[in-house]
Chains A and B, each alone.
Chain A
Amino acid sequence: MSVTELPTAGMLPGGPGEGVQVVIAGDEFPTQEMTLSIGPQHPSTHGVLRVVLTLDGERIDTATPVIGYMHRAFDKLSEVRDYRQIIALSNRHDWLSAFGNELGVALATERLMGLEVPERAQWIRMLMAEWNRVLNHLMFLGSFGLELGAMTPMFYAFREREDIQTLMEMATGARMHFTYCRVGGLKEDLPKGFLLYSEVLVKRIRHRLLDYAGLLLGNEIFKKRTVGIGVLPGEVAKSYGVTGPILHASGVAEDSRKTEPYLKYSEVEFEVPVGEHGDSFDRFNVLYHRIEESLKIIEQVHDKLPPGPVMPGKMPKYLKPPEGWTYVRTENSLGETGYYLVSRGETTPWRLKMRTPSFHNVSMIPYLLKGVLLPDLIAVLGSVFFVVGDVDR
């Protein structure tokens, strides 16, 4: 409630208006803050994420993410499962690019055991990881458009994903949870026809990506909804532990494929797209260009794939990494996925901590959402790339 006096300028002193006090409630009408809970069932929250908002009209005062609806105790389970079983468990986290999770477990165990992974297995792992990245990014391209109201890119994205999932099924037998990686290499070699279909798909998807550019990136309304919305400065992103396309869009080019190349990333050429402003449009733009870069890497793998075995010759019957600890990180589609593995020489880990990118991306949401309008909430949430299984583990 504020108290104002009527202006006396132009009024005769002693006249009817002088010195009258007017009480105005608030600035316009008295309003009440509304608490709105977006989710856990909501079309736009990519799964069971709940965000509790306090709204003033349509402007958000505070936003609190409530997570844990999908907590499946991966850390605890991995203490009673051996390394092969853990690989099957791990790919349930970022299920849009499942192979990336498996890769981290295998790399961590191999590092502790000092195993040499055959060349061919490393190249194929890279191929699979990049296809998974394309799968993941296509999904977010489609769903972001859908949340803003553009229905069509979603269907196109799923058409592409269907093709890629068919490709994955040829090699691994599964469309989503691949369980293809093994400690030491891969489950089995690629089937006949895989590389041919992979080449066909690269061309097809590259051609169809132009549709997305037209429908979304070049669209006036899309730009109006996303440019300048949800700006995340680079320093803030770093202090939250945010990684992946979001960090790149905020201007920080931290990609562990470039800084600490694992597998064969040092032998392929690719760029890391970086944004300028850190707003939703930049995040989306970075995602789009990352797909193009992944397709480039896949093409190079096609050319450079050497023949050979996919598992080392002599593997111990039971995997028992020696006592010690290590942290291995991979640049998964959503960001940096890391495994902190503590082993005491048994067939099961003593402690396996999975550091997931979505956990940190979601922790940054209260910062992004302060003072944002309700429809912009959707634009912002859609541009924070997370998968709920990754957040809750």
Chain B
Amino acid sequence: MTPDEIASHLTEATGAIERSEVAHGEVSVWVPNDKWVEVATHLRDCGRCHFDFPTFLTAVDMEDQGFEIVLHMYSVRRQHHVNVKTQVARDAARLPTLSGVWNGMNWCERETWELFGVDFIGHPNLVKLLLPVEFEGFPLRKDFLLMTREAKEWPGMKEPAEVEH
């Protein structure tokens, strides 16, 4: 299925797609928070789009708009991709878990929780995965500065982000 077909099929089948976008040959669909598990289950069980392979789940910090949770799915049988995205608010960052839908989501959600602070409701084991247990804070948030820059003034070349061009 082409990206547009995937978008239209999902809009019809689930009725939960807010909007969709196709860029660089890939399709993204945006889903409201409460329909997250429903859409995911449809993706897994649908015989037509047949998304059986979870590629990854992560979050992108959109600053004022909160976090955008991205779930990338792939279908081994049909060989097509989809990005399923949803928006969560910054101060109320929670989402139902997908670890019951695909096993691979278990660790992905743990990682997203510890790096961004997005709570996954119903996750069986939401403990730190990559970071040490004593670590405080959510490092991948934009307001969490890279520690080396915090601890000591960098005497060398300016960061690429700081150079004007």
Interface residues of chain A, those whose CB is within 8 Å of chain B, are 67-68, 71, 73, 75-77, 80-82, 85, 111-112, 235-236, 238-242, 252, 254, 259-260, 317-318, 324-327, 329, 336, 338, 340, 342, 346-348, 350-351, 353, 355, 359-360, 363-364, 367, 392-393
Determine whether the beta carbon of A68 is less than 8 Å from that of B132.
yes
Please list 21 pairs of residues, one from A and one from B, whose beta carbons are closer than 8 Å in the complex, sorted by A's number: A67-B129, A68-B128, A71-B130, A73-B146, A76-B139, A80-B159, A239-B102, A240-B104, A241-B102, A260-B79, A318-B165, A326-B24, A327-B72, A338-B55, A340-B58, A340-B70, A348-B159, A359-B107, A360-B104, A364-B103, A392-B130
With both beta carbons as reference points, the residue of chain A lying nearest to B160 in the complex is identified as A82
With both beta carbons as reference points, the residue of chain A lying nearest to B142 in the complex is identified as A79
B115 at the interface (CB under 8 A from A): yes
Once the chains are docked, how many angstroms separate the CA of A342 from the CA of B72?
14
Q: Which 10 A-B pairs have the closest CB atoms?
A: A241-B104, A82-B160, A68-B130, A363-B107, A355-B56, A71-B130, A240-B104, A351-B60, A353-B58, A239-B103
Once the chains are docked, how many angstroms separate the CA of A240 from the CA of B101?
10
B131 at the interface (CB under 8 A from A): yes
Once the chains are docked, how many angstroms separate the CA of A44 from the CA of B165?
50
A-side contacts of B161, CB under 8 Å: 80, 346-348
Determine whether the beta carbon of A327 is less than 8 Å from that of B81.
yes
Interface residues of chain B, those whose CB is within 8 Å of chain A, are 23-24, 26, 28, 52-56, 58, 60-61, 70, 72, 76, 79, 81, 83, 102-104, 106-108, 115, 128-132, 139-140, 146, 159-161, 163, 165
Q: Please classify the interface of chain A as helix (H, G, I), strand (E, B), loop, or mixed, using the class held by over half of its residues.
A: mixed
Give the number of A-B contacts (CB < 8 Å).
Answer: 105
B54 to chain A, nearest CB (A): 5
Besides A325-B23, A347-B160, 12 other CB < 8 A contacts? A73-B146, A80-B159, A238-B76, A241-B104, A242-B104, A254-B76, A318-B165, A324-B23, A340-B58, A355-B56, A360-B104, A363-B107
A-side contacts of B131, CB under 8 Å: 68, 71
With a 10 A CB-CB cut-off, give which of A111, A360, A393 has the most chain B CB atoms.
A360
With both beta carbons as reference points, the residue of chain B lying nearest to A317 in the complex is identified as B165
With both beta carbons as reference points, the residue of chain B lying nearest to A320 in the complex is identified as B165
Determine whether the beta carbon of A363 is less than 8 Å from that of B104.
yes
B-side contacts of A347, CB under 8 Å: 160-161, 163, 165
Once the chains are docked, how many angstroms separate the CA of A327 from the CA of B73?
11
